[in-house]
A and B are shown apart, each in its own frame.
Chain A
Amino acid sequence: MSASSALQPGLPGPGAAAPPTIWTTIAYAAAAGLIVGVAASMWGVPLPVSDNLPILLDVQQTSLRDGLAVALRDEGRLRPLFWVQYKALFAMSGGRYYLAFQGFHVAMFAATVLLWVAALRVRTVYQFAGAAVGVTVLLGLHTFGNLVRELPITVVTCCALAVVLAFMERPARWRDALAVINFVIAVFFVEIGLVVWVVHVAAYLCGRRGVSRGAVVALTAVCAGYFALRFLVLPAGAPPVFPRDTGFGFANLSESELRSEYASHRYAIYLYNIAASILSVLFSEPRGGIFEFTRRVLADETRPWMWVNVLSSAATSVCLLWFLVRRGITLRLSALDRDHAMIVVALAMLASNAVISYPYSRDVVMSPAGLGYALAAAVAIGWLLERAASMPGFRRMAVVGLLLLVSIGWSMRTIGLTYSLRRTAFVNRNDWAGVEEWLNQSGRLPAGGPGRALVEQLKRESLAFRVPNPGLAQPDAEDFFGTGTY
């Protein structure tokens, strides 16, 4: 603590964060309204069938010990905590499955958005405006939308927590410990949890000292331990060459097509997937590896929401580029200020997320990068607004006009998220209507006992949801706001 602040209690010392302001409160309030609105829509969505029911039946019939043993013997992936989360929620639900699973999902969603706001540390009117637009970037981006529609969101919450911890002004032991625990949870939940380590290392290199050097060393040791465990101890190893279908150009390639026709060009496919994932976050095109917007433009089959998606993303990425060009790109990362460091960390998240996701391209697997992109957008928009304030009249109006259009575009995409949740509610409820046949086709329909009772209870509860039919309830609005998917 400096001598002056030691003499004047209440003043922040060097390295301490400036205290919250009224703009901090307004930024949280704006985010809270959006959280409430999206959470209310999420609460009307029945649990997804195909992504959840088989796991629920599995955790019902398997003990924690046996389930963990199976998860650790998996080949091609290492996700024991994914299974443990389902088991724990199932055990704690007391038979109120929707409350446990969707309640946890909604709580994690709210925590993620609040952590996202906390990471920005809003103090000025410009930062507030950047955060207000940025939160719609977070919610309106297709990567996050897919995440909200599916379960679970845990890894993105871990990434948001990592950014908050990494960007604190100085380390504390408890935060160091939390950073390591957070990384262990993320990385053993799903592979993209490795992005948490990237956040900490990138932030440390950029001069952020929210976690100590010792903690960064510990995080790196955990990362090395993860790879050793995965490749030397357990049978997980690398993912299969082509674990699932993926988009390429204007079409989707099935697993069998990939294996038969592209096996000798697999590295080219991987490079394509990495590039497609990065472009998808920056420009909302391609989606899942498919250049669907381009195809529709060529076929004259576009709808307004598609233009809104691509143009809002492109304009936001231009803002990021503007920031980087004007602020300069330097190798002296440790000299970067907080805003600049945030954007560099976001770019590191984008690159690492895309590389980790090399085997296939999917919107949802880029959700950590989407969180970073929204942080970067908030910072860049706040910075641009601050710069615009000192520009001459016409230039100021042009910049503010561009930012206003960006803001309107992302707000429309956030409305699209609620439309997509409404459509998901309709689809999920209808999936439950034919659940027995679906399970029967894959030979997984329990003949009786607790398994059959679970299916019947979930089906009964899902059919009881009162869901609007998208064919009747404002069907034309979807043309402008979209439903999250082509």
Chain B
Amino acid sequence: MASDRRHGSAWLVAAPPLALSLACLALTGLGMAGANPFWTPSDLTMSEAAALRDPATVLVLMEQGQDPYAAYPVRAGLIDRAGLHLTPVEAAVREDRLEVAAVILGHPAWRSAERVCHWLQLAGAEGAGEISRYIRRTFPEDADTCR
């Protein structure tokens, strides 16, 4: 009886790590089936990726042929309470995501003086100071041509 009680105390203290250990095994099994709820890749539109500081996904979608100057849906709660329809450029500027601007503007297929001016204009209107400074620093000649 006393031995059971002593073992009970030890099992009680060991219970959280044991439960965690079992959960790890279960989640790893789910992960192998692509169903780990804690490691489920997020399905994002390019505009959502731009708003969520995810330049890698923006780049992958661009490489797949998506247009960073086209509008895509942004789910409710990310930028605004309501769902929106924005271009990735607009989303990045509204959230002042410098790294996203760098990926889109740095991509050889999407860089031009006209687009630099478009970014500058948007950044100025939204008060995205970091992006404005980045563009003027990185593309000084293109930025000088903007009115």
Interface residues, chain A, CB within 8 Å of chain B? Answer: 29-34, 36-38, 40-41, 44, 125-126, 128-129, 132-133, 135-136, 381, 385, 388-389, 396, 400, 403-404, 407-408, 410-411, 414-415, 418, 422, 426, 429-430, 432-434, 436-437, 462-463, 466-469, 471-474
Contacts and interface: CB of A to CB of B under 8 A. Distances in A.
Given A400-B12, A400-B13, A408-B16, A33 B21 contact: yes
Nearest to A460: B63
Contact of A37 (B9, B28, B42, B44): B28
Interface of B: 2, 5-7, 9-25, 27-28, 31, 38-42, 44, 49, 52-60, 78, 99, 102-103, 106
A471 B38 contact: no
A411 B16 contact: yes
A469 B42 contact: yes
A9 to B, nearest CB: 30
Contacts of B2: 389
A365 to B, nearest CB: 27
A229 to B, nearest CB: 43
A135 B42 contact: no
Contacts of B78: 471
Contact of A136 (B11, B20, B28, B103): B20
A128 B15 CA distance: 11
A34 B11 CA distance: 17
Contacts of B57: 469
Given A37-B28, A389-B6, A437-B106, A463 B56 contact: yes
A471 B53 contact: yes
A253 B23 CA distance: 41
A35 to B, nearest CB: 8
Contacts of A388: 9
Given A37-B25, A40-B31, A389-B6, A132 B52 contact: no
Contact of B20 (A414, A429, A471): A414
A318 to B, nearest CB: 15
Contacts of B25: 33, 36-37
A407 B13 contact: yes
18 contacts: A31-B21, A34-B21, A34-B24, A37-B20, A37-B25, A37-B28, A132-B14, A132-B17, A385-B13, A389-B2, A404-B12, A404-B16, A407-B15, A410-B16, A410-B17, A430-B53, A430-B55, A468-B38
B56 A30 contact: no
Given A33-B22, A133-B17, A434-B102, A468 B39 contact: yes
A385 B10 contact: yes
Given A40-B24, A125-B6, A469-B49, 5 more contacts: A34-B21, A37-B23, A433-B56, A434-B99, A468-B42
A214 B53 CA distance: 58
A472 B106 CA distance: 26
Nearest to A46: B56
A430 B56 contact: yes
B17 A136 contact: yes
Nearest to B42: A469
Contact of B13 (A34, A403, A426, A471): A403
A459 to B, nearest CB: 9
Contacts of A31: 21
A129 B11 contact: yes
Contact of A468 (B17, B20, B41): B41
Contacts of A466: 41
Contacts of B13: 129, 132-133, 381, 385, 400, 403-404, 407
Contacts of A44: 39
Contacts of B39: 41, 44, 422, 468
Nearest to A411: B16
A407 B24 contact: no
A379 to B, nearest CB: 14
A433 B55 contact: yes
Contacts of B18: 30, 132
A411 B39 CA distance: 19
Nearest to A462: B56
A472 B41 CA distance: 10
B85 to A, nearest CB: 19
Contact of A385 (B9, B27, B99): B9
Contact of B38 (A125, A129, A381, A474): A474
Contacts of A430: 53-56, 99
